[in-house]
Copies of this chain bind each other. A is one copy, B any other.
Amino acid sequence: MMKVAILGHGTVGSGVAEVLTSHAESIARRAKEEIEIQYILDIRDFPDSPLHDRFTKDFNQILQDPEVKIVAEVMGGLHPAFDYVKACLENGKSVVTSNKELVAAKGAELLKIAQKNNLNFLFEASVGGGIPIIRPISQCLAANEVLEIAGILNGTTNFILTKMIRESMTFEDALALAQKLGYAERNPAADIEGHDACRKICILASLAFGKHVYPEWVHTEGITKVTLSDVEYADAWGGVIKLIGSVKHTDNGKIMIMVAPMMIPRESQLANVDDVFNGILVRGDETGDVVFYGKGAGKLPTASAVVADIIDCVKHVKARKYLYWDDATADYVEDYRKNETLMYVRATAEDCDALFDKADALFGGVSRLSRFDAPENELAFYTEKLMSEAVIEEKLQQLQQMGAQVDMTIRIADL
């Protein structure tokens, strides 16, 4: 009998309790041991819960109970989650978590404590909800060098973009619908500004390349500036706009990492990842492209990933499970302006033909895009030669000095 504690009884936490209860028999079979919920920590009361006698408001009760060997942290947020997790790892308890904010901000530190104390710190549910991705990267791809990871990592923004693409809904209407359906928080900034996707690509980058990447080092753009006209131009170009978190090795031992809306071709395996689904592409030197697809959030998918980690802890309770990365300094992340890319540009000008000619000369070749009913003073094009973002930026400023107004730029990704 293995006794566990669950920190938090919100969406994911109640899901974890539900899965552990409803699947108790098959879980015991797989873990080779019964798993019992000893405590659930929450500041609220749940008198009607069938587990009402397990609730506590006192974290120290859990910390000081030597019978509790595994703690599931599903509170979210950095504090007090970090303090609790740290205390658990320092007191002989393995921890599993779905908390991407915690792993992205404190992963290296917590992994180090876990290693020192020969405990597990697992976080499969922190990226991709119920999609297995942490383990496949760390284990199955162990014989590969990962070259690049790119993913649709946030279901809310993907839902919004899908509505814009498929139903020509405006960003504002799609966001309102997402909120109505419960996909977006009342304060949707973490999603639509790209911060949630940023945390997840940081975790994947840390795992794949072995050094911690902190979210504040990552150039992050959200989707709030994407308009229906951009969606139409993307369609004319032959693809769709998706919010992509991407990271790749650079030749100088650094990484190029960013989160931004990107145009990807319709044939890309990520182009058909729609609605609240997530898709993660892992490019290995031996395997080529491998893609993982599924529900990236939601109570039960996320809870089942947490429970899978709990099962893994039970099976490895006496042997630390190998997940590890080192700490790093900010210069490990390459300046995003050195990123070489093709760029889509939407601009306003009095004389679009003249602006096109100027752009064509400046960028050494651009292709014009058209859409139905575009205003006469709107020009959209994409560059045809790879250039660094710094150079593109410089050339766009030259265009502005000629009287054009650059309204939008979107990277074109080779995915």
Which residues of A are in contact with B by a Cβ distance under 8 Å?
19, 23, 26-27, 30-32, 124, 129-132, 135-136, 139-145, 267, 269, 272, 284, 286-295, 298, 300-301, 303-308, 310-312, 315, 319, 322
Contacts and interface: CB of A to CB of B under 8 A. Distances in A.
Given A284-B304, A292-B290, A294-B287, A23 B145 contact: yes
A306 B310 CA distance: 27
A288 B130 contact: yes
Given A130-B288, A140-B305, A143-B304, 15 more contacts: A19-B143, A19-B286, A30-B322, A124-B140, A132-B140, A135-B135, A135-B136, A141-B304, A143-B310, A287-B301, A287-B304, A287-B305, A288-B295, A290-B294, A292-B292
- What is the predominant secondary structure among interface residues of chain A facing chain B? mixed
A23 B286 CA distance: 10
A281 B319 CA distance: 32
Nearest to A26: B145
B308 A130 contact: no
Nearest to A137: B132
Contacts of A267: 272
A122 to B, nearest CB: 11
A130 B293 contact: no
B145 A287 contact: no
A131 B295 contact: no
26 contacts: A32-B322, A130-B288, A130-B290, A131-B287, A131-B290, A132-B132, A132-B139, A135-B135, A135-B139, A135-B140, A139-B311, A139-B312, A140-B305, A141-B304, A142-B307, A143-B303, A143-B311, A269-B293, A286-B304, A287-B300, A288-B294, A288-B295, A289-B294, A290-B292, A292-B293, A293-B293
A95 to B, nearest CB: 17
Nearest to A282: B294
B135 A308 contact: no
6 nearest A-B residue pairs (beta carbon) = A132-B140, A143-B307, A130-B287, A290-B294, A286-B304, A132-B136
